[in-house]
């Protein structure tokens, strides 16, 4: 079974600085997707960024980028120029990409990292 581990329960960063959130996962599959979701105090679950395992290039979305190390099964999120609005819980999630009638495309979640932005 696949597992996702976020070892940092809480991180803090000064506004305008850069912070990296860690995520490791365990899987025997070769084809999968990895996601970072953000959950602000409103509790809405918002997709931040997505990475396809078959792509070597790291995904980037504006100030958010990932460092995807497939062999190490590591998927960290870098937030540049941190803003107050970035304060939230960040969840790393795994999803199988194996096609088939019995395939299960549920998201498997890490425990989350609470990101605090200091003004």
- Identity of the residue, 38 or 82, whose beta carbon is nearer to other proteins in the bound complex: 38
> Least CB distance from residue 32 to other proteins, whole Å?
7
Q: Which residues bind other proteins (CB under 8 A)?
A: 31-33, 35, 37, 42-47, 50, 91, 95-99, 103-109, 111-112
User: Strand pairing of 10-14 and 113-118?
Assistant: parallel
Q: What count of residues does the chain have?
A: 119
| Of residues 47 and 116, the one with the C-beta less far from other proteins | 47
Smallest CA-to-CA distance from 7 within 27, 18, 23, 20 is with 23
Least distance between other proteins and beta carbon 30 (Å): 12
Kindly state the smallest distance separating residue 18's Cβ from other proteins, in Å. Answer: 26
Q: Which is nearer to other proteins, 79 or 108 (CB)?
A: 108
The string over 51-74, giving b where at least 16 C-beta atoms fall within 10 Å of a residue's C-beta and e elsewhere, is bebeeeeebeeeebbbebeeeebe
């Amino acid at each position: 079974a696949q597992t996702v581990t976020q070892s940092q329960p809480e991180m803090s960063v000064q506004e305008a600085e850069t912070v990296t959130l860690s995520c490791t996962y365990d899987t025997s599959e070769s084809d999968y997707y990895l996601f970072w979701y953000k959950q602000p105090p409103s509790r809405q679950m918002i997709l931040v960024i997505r990475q396809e395992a078959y792509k070597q290039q790291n995904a980037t979305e504006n100030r958010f980028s990932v460092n995807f190390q497939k062999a190490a099964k590591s998927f960290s999120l870098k937030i540049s120029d941190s803003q107050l609005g970035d304060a939230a819980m960040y969840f790393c999630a795994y999803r199988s990409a194996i096609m088939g009638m019995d395939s299960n495309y549920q998201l498997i979640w890490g425990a989350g990292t609470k990101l605090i932005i200091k003004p």
